[in-house]
Structure 1
Amino acid sequence: MPSVGLARSACAMLVVASLTLPGIAAAQEQAAAAPVYLEDSGSPFGPVEVSDEDAAKLEMPKLAFAVTPAEEKDFDKYYYFVRPGVSYADAYRDIVECDGYARGLQSGVTYTQVPYPYAGTLGGAIGGAIGNAMAAAIFGSAEKRRMRRVNMRGCMYYKGYQRYGLKKDLWEEFHFEEGLSEMPETRRFDYLKRQALVASTAKPEGKELGL
């Protein structure tokens, strides 16, 4: 009788193995066939064509300025990133990836119904449309710009970059903000390339601002 029990156990193990092993093999084949993007950063936005030699084609933006208390209050908006030892190519890949996370955000400003007794009337519909369009233009655009800054700062900080304050007019030379309209692609990547040049080569004298 014990031999019968052992035989049954052996058969059961063979059945389990025959059901399990093909599933494991299929999963391994599927994982091997999965596309790999930028192994150095794990970007979900696909490969970026860039080399360190591309940095020689760019002009270094001006960063030196005398800090005033008024300008220092705006360093949450106007700043640049630096990571000592990073190559230009890696800095550009990092900035493009973080820009991918930060673009196309929704402001959260949605349609608001007009109050009674104007709800459901032609005048109320027209007035509501105008009012909501104005609210989106004024508040929605500002909120999208704020959300972009938050995402860029968080993403670059996670990748090891430090943030340094910059005067507004100098910042505008190689940065952009997005409200209700997006930056054209050619101009967008021109700005990002110069940001990468600064991030990989600048030697800031100001204090680190952190996240």
Structure 2
Amino acid sequence: MKVYRFAAVAAPLLCATQALAQGAPTYIADSASPFGASTVTNADAASVKMPKLDYKSDGTEAGDFDKYYTFRRADTDFATAYADIAECDGYARGLQSGVTYQQVPYPYAATLAGAVGGAIGNAMAVAIFGSAEKRRARRVNMRTCMNFKGYARYGLPKSLWDDFNFEEGLGSVNEEKRHRYLMQQALVASSGTLQGKDLGL
């Protein structure tokens, strides 16, 4: 009984390992999003403006490519690219920063001044470090998810990236604006002409 159970688990893992070794795609093309099926179709691409993607390199912008980038996957239609980006956005939104309440030192813990000082100190810590950490966590999640789905990552100067992307720190982006940006990102991911090389994960 135990041998059969092991074989049932090991066989799919062995197949996946062999596929990776042979250079097969590492994404699961027919996986279902936990956020529901997308209603965006290929016809919707006609209403989306392709952002400016070409630029003249000055040799300095590559230093920020860990923050400012876009995705592209060959032979991918607009509707599929939107579904993939929207799913990855779903995983990457509403993250916690990991910056939590810190108790004031013991001598001040039970005093009014300690309580007020602790509240101010914690609020400042969240504002300074929490927002940056949430933005970083979002980038990590988006990069990991899109890489898993087989998309290449290309760097962009911040000035171009700002035109069709967003960051979420302490605040959030409203749904209309988010949808508009994701539509443009999907257009780039499916049919954009990008400079440079695939940066990988």
Same fold by TM (over 0.5)?
yes
Structure 2, gaps ≥5 residues long: 1-28
Which sections of structure 1, spanning at least 5 residues, go unmatched?
1-38
| TM-score, with structure 2 as normaliser | 0.84
Give the Cα–Cα distance (whole angstroms) in 1 for the partners of residues 169 and 53 of structure 2.
Answer: 25
Deviation at 1:169, TM superposition (A): 1.0
Given candidates 96, 104, 109, the residue that maps to 2:99 is: 109
Q: Is the 8 A contact 1:72 1:165 kept in 2?
A: yes
TM-fit CA distance, 1:67: 2.1
Does 2:126 align with 1:136?
A: yes
CA distance in 2, matches of 1:120, 1:58: 58
* Alignment correspondent of 2:32: 42
SS in 2 for 1:107: coil
Q: What is the identity, as a one-letter code, of the residue corresponding to 1:61? A: P
Match of 2:43 in 1: 53
Identity of aligned residues (%): 65
Mark the structure with the bigger radius of gyration: 1
Residue by residue over 1:46-100, the C-alpha shift from the partner in whole angstroms, topping out at 9 and shown as x without a partner, is: 1111110100101110011122332110000000000011000000000000000
* Residue pair 1:41, 1:94 contacting (<8 A) in 2 also: no
Give the letter for the 1:165 counterpart: G
Distance in 2, matches of 1:205 and 1:117, equals 58
Give the root-mean-square deviation of aligned CA atoms: 1.0
State which of 36, 47, 60 in structure 2 corresponds to 1:70.
Answer: 60
Distance 1:107 1:205 in 2: 33
Q: Which residue of 1 aligns with 2:173?
A: 183
- Distance in 2 between residues matched to 1:69 and 1:118, nearest whole Å: 52
Q: Deviations over 1:187-211 (max 9, x none)?
A: 0111000000000001223111000
Taking the aligned partners of 1:184 and 1:75, their CA distance within structure 2 comes to 26
| Counterpart Cα distance in 1 of 2:180 and 2:36 | 19
- Name whichever of 111-120 and 151-160 sits farther off: 111-120
